[in-house]
């Protein structure tokens, strides 16, 4: 594999979260992640142990989702989901926050919930899905600022299943607010190499996408054209 093409691969969380995903599809996803050397896979909780077994001995992390996709599960449920994911072999979790609490201005509850999850999985990477398409500008700012105090590692734009996905404007905003205190994951609707590169330039440290292979193939063509 062309080592020049690793640049985008080293940002990609290779994702498959559609409702009817099968074991065969998860196995294939993991094989692709190994081939292209993506950072991680992001898969449904029920397949964590399967993926962890396949990826054992590789540098690719097994990731899964918590409170997905709506985020209004109880805190106790999210905590148990995180603990179960860790037990099954996950190294990273993407958890959805309660947007209703944000709408009500209950930011301390949002912070407390994320803190409770991060505290039970201290050795795992925790990414907080904000689903920014549901939030106003002021809500985005206040929520992002509040989440800096949670101990989580990433602010994530979207579930990929909401009414909107990642935008460059939102990634710029999160980068401005976080100022390096938390990293940023852009997810939702990113399907092309040029888009991925634009999000990385805007400040994203991870790209969540189900189009990782297509993105890499496009980058090969871009590199070939430049050579």
Catalytic residue status for 156: yes
Six token digits for residue 77? 């449920």
Catalytic residue status for 183: no
Instruction: Please report which residue ranges of 153-203 form alpha helices under DSSP H.
Output: 168-178, 193-202
Pick from 74, 206, 35: which is nearest to 82 by CA? 74
Angle at alpha carbon of residue 10, lines to 9 and 13, rounded to 5°? 75
Q: Spell out the residues 6+ positions from residue 34 whose beta carbon is closer than 8 angstroms to its own.
A: 54, 55, 58, 60
- Active-site entry in 88, 94, 134, 170: 94
Catalytic residue status for 185: yes
Measure the N-to-C terminal CA separation of the chain; round to a whole number of Å.
16
The H or E element containing residue 156 is strand 154-156
- Active-site entry in 78, 127, 140, 156: 156
Q: Which active-site residues does the annotation give?
A: 94, 156, 185
């Amino acid at each position: 594999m062309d080592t020049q093409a690793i640049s985008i691969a080293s940002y990609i969380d290779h994702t498959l979260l559609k409702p009817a995903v099968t074991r065969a599809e998860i196995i294939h996803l993991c094989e692709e992640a190994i081939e292209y050397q993506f950072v991680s896979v992001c898969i449904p909780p029920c397949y964590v142990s399967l993926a962890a077994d396949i990826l054992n001995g590789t540098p690719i992390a097994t990731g899964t989702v918590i409170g997905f996709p709506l985020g209004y599960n109880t805190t106790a449920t999210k905590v148990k989901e995180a603990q179960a994911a860790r037990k099954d072999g996950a190294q990273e979790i993407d958890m959805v926050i309660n947007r209703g609490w944000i709408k009500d201005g209950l930011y301390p509850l949002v912070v407390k919930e994320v803190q409770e999850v991060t505290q039970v999985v201290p050795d795992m990477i925790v990414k907080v899905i904000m689903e920014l398409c549901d939030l106003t500008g002021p809500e985005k700012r206040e929520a992002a600022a509040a989440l800096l105090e949670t101990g989580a590692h990433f602010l994530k734009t979207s579930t990929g299943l909401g009414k909107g996905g990642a935008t460059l404007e939102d990634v710029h905003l999160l980068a401005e607010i976080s100022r390096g205190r938390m990293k940023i994951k852009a997810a939702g609707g990113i399907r092309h190499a040029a888009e991925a590169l634009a999000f990385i330039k805007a400040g994203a440290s991870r790209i969540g996408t189900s189009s990782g292979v297509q993105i890499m193939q496009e980058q090969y063509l871009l590199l070939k054209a430049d050579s």
